[in-house]
Chain A
Amino acid sequence: MAEATAPKPSSSVKLVLLGEAASSLVLRFVNNDFQENKEPTIGAAFLTQKCNLPTRTIKFEIWDTAGQERFASLAPMYYRNAQSALVVYDLTKPTSLIKAKHWVAELQRQASPGIVIALVGNKLDLTNETSGSSNAIGEDGDEAAEPEDDGDARKVSTAEAKTYAEEEGLLFFETSAKNGTNVTEVFTAIANAIPETSLKGARGPGATQSNANRAEDQSRVNLTGPRDNASKEGCAC
């Protein structure tokens, strides 16, 4: 589809989305929309959005997963062949960063080795350090709920998360899905970070699938058990 409209080369990139409040981030990116108190995802949502780079067009195929335990058996379907992942934490909740670290570890174990992972701290609008003019609007309700006197609900410092991201070789951003700060930047950065080689000839999901699968089978230790393993092999050949 993208080929028809844009003269630039276009390729599909599978992106898996994990972590707290991740849905609202992708909703901002895909639909430029924000919903207060969005209910948790049920199952998984599949969304697509194009990202225009100077030299090419990337079509993101985004899997927004619920990430609950009982869906664990579905996880391989999402991770498999994913070229990129977005792990989101809530920078007003320290526990959400711990969860995010679990997801990163999980991805490093489970997903293709070349996967590009971005760590994103969301809800920047609840801190008082953003210069954005838009974050003053409609924020009262949220801030009233916070015990902070100065209106700064931040609980996870930028330095802490950034250090972790650097150690693990992740892209790092702080965003606000509510007012849109940095959201497009995250996806553009991911698109830029995807190695050109993994995009070559990758015109459809089928092609990327076989590419990534091959790489994955060579080097990965599979920890999810025999059932999982079997299903993967079945697809790879």
Chain B
Amino acid sequence: MRDSPDPRSSCSDARAGATTDTTAAKAAGKNGIGTMTVASENDALKRREHPKPDTSDAATTPDTMHSEGDGDERENRPPLPPRPSLLNASDRPNTPLSPTKKPALQSKPTTAISSVDIQTLAFPDGTRGTFSTPASRSVSESVSLSGLSVGQSTPSRKVSYNGNGEFDDTTSLMSYAPTLRANGDLASLLDEGLSSQSPAWKLLSSQADTVNPFESIDPQDSPLLNFSHEFDEIEAVDSKGGNEGKLFTCPAGKPIWSRHGDQNLINGYIGIIQTIISFYQEAKDPLMGFTAGGTKFVISTEGPLYFVAISKLGESDVQLRSQLEALYMQILSTLTLPTLKQLFTNRPNTDLRRPLEGTETLLSSLADTFTKGSPSALLSALECLKIRKSQRHVINNTLLRARTDKLLYGLIVAGGRLVSVIRPKRHSLHPSDLSLIFNMLFEAGSVKAGGGENWIPLCLPGFNNKGYLYMYVSFVSAHEDGEAPSERPHTAGSGRNDEIAVLLISADKESFYELKKMREEVVGQLEKNGSMNIIKSAVRQGRPSTSDIVPGTIIRHFLYKSRPNVQFTMPSFSPHFDNLLSRRRLLSLYHNLHASTHAKHSHVKVLHCVGRDSISLAWTTPFFEFYCVAGPNASRSALAQGANKVIQWVKREEERVFIIGGAVF
């Protein structure tokens, strides 16, 4: 960051160490507890610095700034007053203040010895550095995060204030019920002391900072142990169950759908759940959710339906609720709201399974997507295929020219990534609708497996939950040039990500042949003007890896969501997150970061999280949300530097990785 010419907008620094009270230390041994340190941007500092962005940070606020040299971070920093009880070395056997203990920790770096200084990152573009941060004080907090999956247990939390760069000594130690999530209001700032690194540790870090996230975790500890069996059918319900289940039911007590298990097996459980729900409903105080051990139950009521999510994966209540919401949207998409209401008004004990017949696979694949972890669902955003702006322009125009009168929306989608959209001026497309469509086309497989062209009535609840639209879909394989769609190879599993779909949506159920004609024209034109080959090669190329984006970076993966565009971009999961399990760990980490930065009343803007198996950073501004992950031994400053570079890259490529504006008619 120092060598970059960009002005640094602000820098707040939380010298935070591990909160090694005994609970955390004990837990760390067992379950990979990490310490999460949160710092919001110090507004006061920023305002001061903006008029003269070239001013040296250290000169302005020597207290809170630090120089960048990796090892010399502490040199300019006067030692801060010790906190009497907490800084007692004997109370904290794992801190670097007792160097003799360190070697024991080297194989499994815990938060206790990781440096957790926070730097507020500079926005790459000086003009944009002026985003407002509502927090007028520097807020940081330390949350003990138990690894990735039992993230809800927060055995202890240190709370303190940082008023204008000065540390407050009146740090208090508070305990929270395990279900309480980090609350931005509860400011905490840990003092110095723990940032001292022994030469031995520095040496180790410098040699081992290529360790990838999640390499060292002992799978025996993990609730994700049986993750690979998560998608098997459960034949017998036992206490160990799966990690995640969703079920829903209607007040009359008929189970409608459940992700796992035969309905005969779960009927008993549904009865119990319903008893609990109705108990609270009678008291006019509807039950929202509860936690039992490591398992979280979230309940949501939508019209006549109860939805229950059961998860051990550590998502927050809000995240689980949004997953249930998506399942409800899928039901509406099949039935429409008036039909659903009518069914239950006419016959309160309607068995909804019959009208939903045939869409179980859509619900299951949606639930599986959540269980596997989906960045798109987490961020409520869409991903676009990265192509040049001018190329996208040509594709848009091709669609616009071929447009027929009956067309409402026209889309080209490649492997779940949007290539082009045309829409009427008055109507926009809701991301949740699109994710339902993408789930149907690219995850469930039932449409594509049939081959040929498809004509699908569906309701897009975000657009209008009262009626059906009709969607024409045909696929073009990215692997065979100029072949008819019917001749593409059927590789059910692997082919999913390289299919190009042309979607034409109309409100007229008789318009199939008209849209079919339009599709032929569009595909013909795209072949002719070379756009089809551009799309195909972009699809074949896949997402770039992080090292393609920022050569030599320690960042292993990131998510960048552009808030105004409701779109996100990310690098390829390979080579570090190739298998299902490591991907789920990654996504769980993102879920935790997301939950912390999106908690109600949270003023957290920048969050740095250090765990035994990874370090990560979340950064939110009005323009973007950014999350990134690096190996456990990577230095914080390298992470920050990488993050800045990635954001610069996104800024540079903005019109390629996102669809900005889109084509309207």
Contact = CB atoms under 8 A, between A and B. Distances in A.
A74 B452 contact: no
Interface in B441-488: 444-447, 449-458, 471, 486-487
Given A35-B492, A77-B510, A44 B454 contact: yes
A23 B450 contact: yes
A28 to B, nearest CB: 11
Contacts of A42: 358-359, 362, 440, 444, 446-447, 454, 456
Nearest to A67: B358
A40 B361 contact: yes
Interface in B73-119: none
Interface in B426-449: 440, 444-447, 449
A235 B514 CA distance: 14
A17 B449 CA distance: 16
B517 to A, nearest CB: 11
Contacts of B450: 23, 27, 41, 45, 47, 64
A64 B453 CA distance: 10
B341 interface: no
A38 B449 contact: yes
A40 B446 contact: yes
A46 B490 contact: no
Nearest to A235: B510
Interface residues on A, range: 20 to 34
A231 interface: yes
A231 B359 CA distance: 28
Given A41-B450, A70-B334, A205-B513, A48 B492 contact: no
B335 interface: yes
B446 A30 contact: no
Contact of B355 (A35, A48, A69): A69
B558 interface: no
A9 B487 CA distance: 24
Interface string A19-33: 000010001001101
A71 interface: yes
A148 interface: no
A43 interface: yes
A30 B358 contact: no
Interface in B25-84: none
B457 A68 contact: no
Contact of A45 (B355, B362, B454): B454
Nearest to A39: B446
B658 interface: no
Contacts of A69: 354-355, 357
A48 B449 contact: no
A11 B486 CA distance: 20
Contact of A46 (B334, B449, B455): B455
Interface in A60-88: 62, 64, 66, 68-71, 73-74, 77
A30 B355 contact: no
A201 to B, nearest CB: 19
Q: Interface residues of A: mostly helix, strand, loop or mixed?
A: mixed
A33 B454 CA distance: 18
B568 interface: no
A47 B440 contact: no
B262 to A, nearest CB: 15
Contacts of B161: none
A46 B454 contact: yes
The DSSP consensus for interface residues of chain B is mixed
Given A31-B486, A40-B446, A43-B457, A68 B452 contact: no
Nearest to B485: A47
Contacts of B453: 45-47
B541 to A, nearest CB: 27
A31 B490 contact: yes
A70 B355 contact: yes
Nearest to A34: B490
Nearest to B355: A70
Contacts of A205: 513
B451 A27 contact: yes
Nearest to B447: A42
A41 B510 contact: no
B509 interface: yes
B512 interface: yes
Contacts of B452: 30, 45-48, 62, 64
Among A30, A31, A73, max chain B CB count under 10 A is at A31
A49 B454 CA distance: 15
Contacts of B362: 42
Contacts of A33: 451, 490
A44 B470 CA distance: 11
B355 A47 contact: no
B357 A44 contact: no
A44 B455 contact: yes
Contacts of A235: 510
A70 B358 CA distance: 10
Contacts of B355: 69-70
Contacts of A48: 452, 486
A43 B458 contact: yes
A130 B357 CA distance: 33
B451 A45 contact: yes
A48 B334 CA distance: 27
A16 to B, nearest CB: 13
A106 B487 CA distance: 33
A31 B451 contact: yes
Interface in A210-237: 231, 235
- Central interface residue in A40, A45, A66, A69, by most chain B CB within 10 Å: A45
A42 B516 CA distance: 18
Contacts of A46: 452-455, 512, 516
22 contacts: A31-B487, A35-B449, A38-B446, A39-B444, A39-B446, A40-B357, A40-B361, A42-B359, A42-B362, A42-B440, A43-B454, A44-B455, A46-B454, A47-B450, A47-B452, A47-B453, A48-B486, A64-B452, A73-B509, A74-B455, A77-B512, A235-B510
Closest 10 pairs (CB-CB, A-B): A43-B456, A47-B452, A39-B446, A45-B450, A46-B453, A40-B358, A39-B361, A44-B455, A68-B358, A33-B490
Given A33-B451, A45-B447, 20 more contacts: A23-B450, A30-B452, A31-B486, A33-B490, A35-B490, A40-B357, A40-B361, A40-B446, A41-B358, A42-B358, A42-B362, A43-B455, A43-B458, A43-B471, A44-B454, A47-B451, A47-B453, A73-B509, A74-B509, A231-B510
